[in-house]
Amino acid sequence: MAHEHKLEIFRGLVKFKSNIQKIWGVLVFLTIVTAVEVGLGITKPEFLTKNYFIGMKLLNWIFIILTLVKAYYIAWDFMHLRDEKSALRRAIVWTPIFLICYLIFILLFEADYIYNVFKDGFLAWDF
C-alpha cells in the first residue's frame, strides 16, 4: 500500500513535517472555520444580511462557501483524496458535483415558480 502523504495544504503555503502534524493542522483550520460560521450566524452583521448577490444574502453565500471549503479539507486530508490518483479523485468528486448542481438548478427553479404561483395566483391558500 502506498504510504506516502502529500504534506502541503493551501497550495503549498503551509507544509507540515509529518502526516500527524498535518491532521492536527487541518483540525485547527476546520475549527476556526466552524467558529467563524457560528459567530456570523449569531451576530448576523447587517451589511451581510441586507446585501444580496444573485438573489441570495451575502451571509448565506459566505456560509455555503465556507461549507464547501470545509468539505474540501475533510475529503482531501481526512479521506486522503490528496494522496489518491488524480483520475480516481476526479471520478469521485466531479460525478456528484455535476448531478447535484443539476438537481439544485431544477428543484430550486421549480420551487421559486410555485412560490410565485402561491403569491400571485388567484388562489387563496391561507384561508
Contacts with another protein, residue ranges (CB under 8 A) = 1-3, 19-20, 23-24, 26-27, 30-31, 34-35, 37-38, 41-42, 44, 49, 60, 63-64, 66-67, 70-71, 74-75, 77-80, 84-85, 87-88, 91-92, 95-96, 99-100, 103-104, 107-108, 110-112, 114-115, 118-119, 125-127
Categorise residue 90: left if φ over 0, alpha if ψ from -120 to 50, beta otherwise: alpha
CB of 61 to another protein, least distance (A): 10
Residues in the chain: 127
Beta bridge partners of 8: 15
Q: Considering the complex, what minimum distance in angstroms separates the CB of residue 20 from another protein?
A: 6
- Class of residue 77 by CB neighbours under 10 A (exposed 0-12, middle 13-18, buried 19+): buried
Nearer to another protein, 12 or 96 (CB): 96
Report the nearest approach of another protein to the CB of residue 18 (Å): 9
Helices 19-43 and 58-73, axial angle in degrees (round to 10): 160
